[in-house]
Amino acid sequence: MDHLSILANSLQKVEGSKDGASSITHRFYGNILEVTYTSVVHFSEEHSMRLQVNREIDRSTQVINSAMKVVKENYSKISNKSLKLVEEGTNDNVEIISATAHSPRKIAYYRRQVRFSHS
């Protein structure tokens, strides 16, 4: 099996939350692996949005780091070689999907993409 096939197989073991509130997906762009964390966030008030976004930043970082640890372990089991992942960049965004003028409650997607080079 070649390197990318082993990496793709290792990524298949990574999943989001059991309750469906978050997910982990991945894409390959040549030698770059992009991992995307997505969660549904319920914002209760405008002034608490920043606090909730900060919590999602922390949660997404932990989930992605844990997922990459699992990927490295799976890769090592399959290939008997270690996988080196180097973070090349990250970005995040909030997409409001439901809001009304009469209610302070907003529903949004929080997404974080992290790009890794691998060898």
- 3-118 belongs to CATH 3.30.980: yes
Q: Where are the domains of the chain?
A: 3-118
Whole-angstrom CA distances from 24 to 31, 49, 100 are 19, 23, 29
Q: For 52-76, give one letter per residue: b (16+ CB within 10 A) or e.
A: bbeebeebbeebbeebbeebbebbe
| pLDDT at position 43 | 84
Identify the H or E element spanning 49: helix 49-79
Q: Provide the whole-model pTM.
A: 0.86
Residue of higher predicted confidence among 12 and 80:
80
Enumerate residues 6+ apart whose C-beta is below 8 A from 9.
1, 74, 78
Q: Of 18 and 107, which is predicted with more confidence?
A: 107
pLDDT in tens, 41-82: 988 777 778 888 999 999 999 999 999 999 999 999 999 999
